[in-house]
Amino acid sequence: MKYIFVTGGVVSGLGKGITAASLGRLLKQRGYRIISQKLDPYINIDPGTMSPHQHGEVFVTKDGAETDLDLGHYERFIDEDLNRYSNLTSGRAYWNVLQKERKGEYLGETVQIIPHITDEIKRFIRNVGERANADITITEIGGTVGDIESQPFIEAIRQIGLEQPEDVCFMHVTLVPFIPGSEEYKSKPTQHSVRQLQNLGVMPDLIIARCDGHMPSDVRKKIALFCNVKPDCVIENTTVQDLYEAPLMLEEQNFSAIVCRELGLQPNEIDLTDWKEMVDRIHQTDGEVKIALVGKYVRLHDAYLSVAESLKHAGYAAHKHVRIKWVESEDVNAETAPEIFNDVSGICVPGGFGSRGIEGMIASAAYARENNIPYLGLCLGMQIGVIEFARHVLGYSDAHSNEFDESSTHKVIDFMENQSDEIDKGGTMRLGAYPCAVRKDTLLYQCYQQDLIHERHRHRYEFNNEYRNEFEEHGMKIAGTSPDRLLVEAVENENCDFFVGVQYHPEFQSRPDRPHPLFTGFLCACMKKTDA
């Protein structure tokens, strides 16, 4: 197993995740099996309970781990399913160690950061690659060098470098700022950051210099000299128009070949033809489609990162530029909806938790149904579509979800503990990939062209089966269910051109060069609306 560790310095947000994801794609195109991993220094066990306003979306892996949003970038770039070892937080590392201590697994030893916490981190690093049978594991360490929380992670990767010196490559992403007054690129922030990393025992093999433009050769040579790396191991990471151009920009500097050299790997021939064709499609758009994304966290767009990317992926395939209109759900009601949605060709309501903004989402679904605007409801968005239908078509004015309104007489969305073999043992949340049987006489089947699919879930509440017959009698078709038919997975309104709600999160499986069929179907309906 070969290991690549990506650290960051100077400031956060330099693009460590995109750099790691791009390298993964490049090495995959050289014929290597790749797996990616993110180590997060925060004390939360995982991002599952963190506010999307602070941390962005929670990305769910196939095996049900709630992880950092950077894992979404990894999956979209390398097109490999990650696993529960692909994300580790300080909180999880300490939690695991303390549980072992309580069980007596350390035989009365004094439990310390070194070796116990660092050994737990190393266990995760090694397990992720072994579980995926990978040739190379690419691990990103969150935060910046010098953060108190990240020191155990830096120490763990230092130890792996000591234990397997021929199998490890350290990569440091830093800022090389341009000073307008003197019109110079300054290398001093990079020098300080690398020195701090070296003081912790990690000697970087490559410096990834985040800069706005091309650095003069003397600046690159200065960085190489003072940071003790080879001259060609200073790689520029410049701003690109679209993030999927990043692998091509980096490979222009022989990035993946240099990494292979540093790891002692054969630099097999690389084929980026398909990726280049995809990037060309991104720039060769024919018109625009405007879609409203209605949510309660829209002031931080990263809260819906995978949904936004999935809409763009569908646009790439259709040669359309998808422009997202970010709509705060609390701003929507029956009076404001016509003005808010008068310039859009489709409405998407993504997932979420909590009661804030729910009525605005219901008003959005009502406007879409009444005006035959294509509607795509994802997880909570499906439940919103069901509640709206129950209120305004079935006539249950107090229809609601048990999650939001315990006093409601008609709980069309309810907590259904252990009523299906498809629910996890705890019965509290469905997490990860579950099967869905698709009815053939549905829009859902037209999109998938399959009668059995597997999609990732993250929710606690289900469609209340007591209302199934009544919904179907009035035009809301049950389009997909769990194979045992006990759980409703998808609904669609037969009286609309495209009104589909799914209980799962299809956005987690969309790829830039292989858009998810449900988003493709939704975009096609939106394009027809635009043309009309």
**Cis check: omega of the bond before 517, within 30 degrees of 0:** no
211, 379, 496, 524: the active-site residue: 379
Ramachandran region, residue 307 (left: φ > 0; alpha: ψ -120 to 50; beta: rest):
alpha
Indicate if 192 belongs to the active site. Answer: no
Q: Which residues pair with 431 in a beta bridge?
A: 458
Judge contact between 235 and 209, C-beta under 8 A.
Answer: yes
Contact 2, 166 (CB under 8 A): no
Q: With b meaning 16 or more CB within 10 Å and e meaning fewer, what string describes 64-99? A: bbbbbbbbbbbbbbbebbbbbbbbbbbbbbbebbee
- Residue ranges of alpha helices (H) inside 295-336 are 305-318
Instruction: Check if the beta carbon of residue 347 is closer than 8 Å to that of residue 529.
Output: no
Give the containing element (helix H, strand E) for 291.
strand 288-295
505 catalytically annotated: yes
* Residue in 169, 507, 516, 524 annotated catalytic: 507
| Edge-to-edge strand list for the sheet holding 461-463 | 400-401, 411-415, 461-463
> Cα 298 from chain centroid?
16
Which of 505, 516, 524, 526 does the annotation list as catalytic? Answer: 505
Measured from the Cβ of residue 386, the count of other Cβ atoms closer than 10 Å reads 25
Sign of CA dihedral 401, 402, 403, 407: positive
What contacts 494, CB < 8 A, 6 or more positions away?
475, 476, 477
By the 8 A CB rule, do 16 and 8 touch?
yes
Contact residues for 156 (Cβ-Cβ < 8 A; gap 6+): 118, 121, 122, 125
What amino acid positions are annotated as catalytic residues?
379, 505, 507
